[in-house]
């Protein structure tokens, strides 16, 4: 019996009882749909978080004072006798791997302009800031390349601050008061939106040294180093390390490559995605049990037919293959159905529910399809073996 005939024979067996076939396939379909839908949401979240994280560029190393990092945050940035200084940042720029550096300080302050006031996060940044973090200016310019130790008192507004304080009028040239100090507005940043909960447009950027004055601080919180993309990370880290140790006399700082944080994040999210897929897998498991049950019933029902096939000269192997093919075809159909349902719901969610990141990972989809084929095979094994091992004499005696 060649393959096409076997396939046809199996399909006829399935179409003979359409409701039953449909219900069994539904069990598998629901399971596969659940797995695909959930992993789509998982993948969507992973991509969203990673893209938020990496939108600023990945070839960045953050230097923070002190050698302690608690869960990503740097305590040294909050309080430390050891200081990271503007001079440190300038020294780091001399490394041959470094493209841009940014000396960073931040805090919360009240800003005033045009008779309006607002409490915002104020960042002290260097002129290279837009280059390091892939940010761009929409009006005017960013802070000019003054001497980092004595910069002019210019300010760049975040998009939201501009609208809140200046409405539609041109803010360039206006005076902005930050705390007790006065700055002249020379630019507005392009809107960036929210990143992981923080509103990046509700901010003001002033030169780092001026910010240190405003917040009455001596040391920087962070130095961001953007290195040449083709440079090997280890070489860059070593070079930066060398420069700073030479200046400080010891290792009283921490170097954290963005890549490192990214890979940790990706690993965590991968585990999450897998866990979520397993959640959907529970329904699939139950669907598989359903398939085994139905195949078992099918064999019981068709005992006489199996005896007949043997009498007509079918080998045991052929009978085994027939039933395996039936269960595999059934499971694959269910899997395809589930695939369509799952991806459709995922797409609908993406279109109609804004804010929910959904992205269908095609490797998981193919995996799900392969899984349903495997389920068909596995579910059919025992019933197929039972069918093949039936004694034809007894089988034929069954009415």
Partner 1 sequence: MTLNDTLLLSLRAVTSYRIRSLLIVLAMALGVAAVVMLTALGDGARRYVVNQFSSIGTNLIAVMPGRAETSGAFLGATMGRTPRDLTLKDAQLVGRLPQVKRYAPLNVGVAELSAANRLRDVTVLGSTADLIPIRHMNLARGSFLANDSEHSAQIVLGAKLAQEFFPTSSAIGQRIRLDENRFLVTGILALQGESMGFNTDEIVIIPIDYAQSLFNTTSLFRILIEARSHSEIQSAKIAIHDTLKQSHDGEEDVTIITQDAVLETFDRILHALTLAVAGIAAISLAVAGILIMNVMLVAISQRTPEIGLLKAIGANAADIRRLFFAEALWLSLAGTVIGFLLGQFGSLLLRLAYPQLPAWAPAWAIIAGIIVALITGILASLLPSSRAARLDPVKALGKK
Partner 2 sequence: MIHLADITRIFQMGDQSVHALNKINLDIAAGEYVSIMGPSGSGKSTLLNIIGLLDRPNKGCYELDGKNVTDLTETEQAQIRRDKIGFVFQSFHLVPRLTAAENIEMPLILGEIPPDERKSRVTEALQAFDLLSRAQHRPAELSGGQRQRVAIARATILRPKAILADEPTGNLDHSIGAEVMMLLETLCQAGTTLIVVTHDRELSARAKRHIGMRDGKIVTDTP
Contacts of 39 (CB under 8 A, 6+ apart): 273, 276, 277, 280, 360, 361, 364
Which of partner 2, partner 1, none interacts with 260 (beta carbon under 5 to 8 A by kind)?
A: none
Instruction: Tell me how crowded residue 71 is: count the other CB atoms within 10 A of its CB.
Output: 4
The nearest distance, CB 313 to partner 2, in angstroms, is 2
| 8 A C-beta contact, residue 202 and residue 158 | yes
> Which tokens sit at 16?
């003979």
Q: Does 118 bind partner 1 (CB under 8 A)?
A: yes
Is the Cβ of residue 80 or residue 360 nearer to partner 1 in the bound state? 80
Among the residue ranges 21-29, 238-246, 339-347, 358-366, the one whose residues contact partner 1 (CB under 8 A): 21-29
What residues from 370 to 399 belong to the interface with partner 2 (CB under 8 A)?
392-393, 396, 399
Burial class (CB in 10 A: 0-12, 13-18, 19+), 275: exposed
Is 18 one of the binding residues for partner 1 (CB under 8 A)?
no
* 238 touches partner 1 (CB under 8 A): no
Closest distance to partner 1 from the beta carbon of 73 (Å): 7
The binding track of 289-318 with respect to partner 2, each residue x by CB under 8 A or -, is ---------------xx-xxxxxxxxxxxx
Which SS3 state, helix, strand or coil, does residue 363 take? Answer: helix
Q: Which stretch binds partner 1 (CB under 8 A): 140-148, 230-238, 291-299, 351-359?
A: 291-299
Q: Does residue 12 belong to the site contacting partner 2 (CB under 8 A)?
A: yes
Positions in 58-77 near partner 1 (CB under 8 A): 65-68, 70-71, 73, 75-77
The length of the chain in residues reads 399
Q: In the complex with partner 2, which residue's Cβ is closer, 46 or 310?
A: 310
Q: Give least dist CB 295 to partner 2, A.
A: 16
Rounded CA separation 305/302 (Å): 5
Q: Which two tokens stand for residue 390?
A: 């039936």
Are 1 and 314 in contact, with CB atoms under 8 Å apart? yes
52 binds partner 1 (CB under 8 A): no
CA distance 348 to 358: 10
What Å distances lie between residue 283 and 17, 34, 37, 330, 377, CA to CA?
Answer: 24, 7, 12, 17, 18
Please state the φ and ψ torsions of residue 315, each to the nearest 5 degrees: -80, 165
How far apart are CB 346 and partner 2 at their closest, in Å?
38
Residue partners of 33: CB distance under 8 A and separation at least 6: 337, 338, 339, 341, 342, 345
Per-residue binding string, partner 1, 198-227, x by CB under 8 A, is xx--x-----------xxxxx--x------
CB nearer to partner 1: pick between 121 and 266 = 121
Closest CA to 98 of 131, 144, 135, 145: 131
Number of residues that bind partner 1 (CB under 8 A): 67
Picked from partner 2, partner 1, none, the partner binding residue 353 (CB below 5 to 8 A depending on kind) is none
Tokens encoding 236? 């860059």
Q: Strand 154-157 and strand 73-74: pairing?
A: unpaired
* CB 251, min distance to partner 1, A: 9
Alpha-carbon span 294 to 393, nearest angstrom: 25
Binding residue for partner 2 (CB under 8 A) from 5, 180, 230, 363? 5
Out of 115, 173, 197, 313, the residue judged to bind partner 1 by CB under 8 A = 197
Straight-line distance from the first to the last Cα atom of the chain, in angstroms, rounded to the nearest whole number: 26
Structure tokens at 243: 């420069």
9 binds partner 2 per the rule CB under 8 A:
yes
Helix (H, G, I), strand (E, B) or coil at 188: strand
Number of residues in contact with partner 2 under rule CB under 8 A: 25
- With tokens 């797995």, the residue in question is 35
* Residues in touch with partner 2 (CB under 8 A): 1-2, 5, 9, 12-13, 16, 304-305, 307-318, 392-393, 396, 399
* Residues in touch with partner 1 (CB under 8 A): 17, 19-20, 23-24, 26-27, 30-31, 34, 38, 65-68, 70-71, 73, 75-82, 105-110, 118-122, 178-180, 197-199, 202, 214-218, 221, 252, 279-280, 282-283, 285-287, 289-290, 292-294, 296-297, 301, 399
């Amino acid at each position: 019996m060649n393959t096409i005939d076997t396939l046809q024979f199996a399909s006829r067996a399935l179409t003979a009882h359409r409701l039953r076939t449909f219900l069994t396939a539904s069990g598998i379909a629901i399971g596969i749909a659940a797995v695909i839908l959930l992993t789509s949401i998982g993948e969507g979240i992973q991509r969203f978080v990673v893209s938020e994280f990496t939108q600023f560029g990945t070839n960045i190393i953050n230097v923070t004072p002190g050698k302690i990092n608690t869960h990503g945050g740097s305590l040294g940035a909050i309080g430390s006798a050891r200081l990271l200084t503007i001079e440190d940042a300038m020294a780091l720029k001399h490394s041959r791997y470094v493209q841009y550096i940014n000396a960073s300080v931040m805090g919360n302050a009240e800003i005033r302009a045009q008779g309006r006031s607002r409490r915002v996060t104020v960042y002290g940044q260097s002129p290279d800031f837009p280059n390091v973090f892939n940010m761009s200016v929409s009006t005017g310019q960013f802070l000019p390349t003054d001497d980092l130790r004595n910069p002019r008192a210019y300010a760049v507004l975040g998009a939201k601050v501009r609208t809140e304080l200046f409405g539609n009028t041109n803010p360039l040239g206006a005076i902005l008061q930050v705390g007790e100090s006065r700055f002249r507005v020379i630019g507005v940043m392009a809107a960036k939106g929210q990143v992981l909960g923080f509103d990046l447009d509700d901010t003001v950027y002033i030169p780092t040294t001026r910010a240190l004055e405003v917040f009455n601080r001596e040391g920087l919180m962070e130095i961001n180093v953007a290195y040449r993309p083709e440079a090997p990370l280890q070489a860059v880290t070593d070079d930066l390390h060398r420069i700073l140790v030479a200046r400080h006399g010891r290792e009283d700082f921490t170097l954290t490559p963005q890549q490192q944080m990214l890979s940790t994040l990706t690993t965590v999210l991968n585990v999450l995605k897998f866990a979520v897929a397993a959640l959907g897998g529970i329904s699939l498991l139950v669907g598989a049990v359903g398939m085994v049950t139905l195949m078992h019933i099918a064999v019981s029902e068709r005992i006489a037919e199996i005896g007949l096939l043997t009498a007509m000269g079918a080998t045991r192997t052929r009978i085994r293959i027939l039933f395996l093919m039936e269960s595999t075809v059934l499971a694959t159909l269910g899997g395809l159905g589930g695939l369509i349902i799952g991806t459709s719901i995922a797409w609908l969610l993406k279109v109609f529910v804004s804010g929910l990141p959904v992205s269908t990972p095609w490797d998981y989809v193919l995996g799900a399809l392969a899984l349903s084929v495997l389920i068909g095979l596995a579910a059919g094994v025992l019933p197929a073996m039972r069918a093949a091992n039936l004694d034809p004499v007894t089988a034929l005696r069954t009415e």
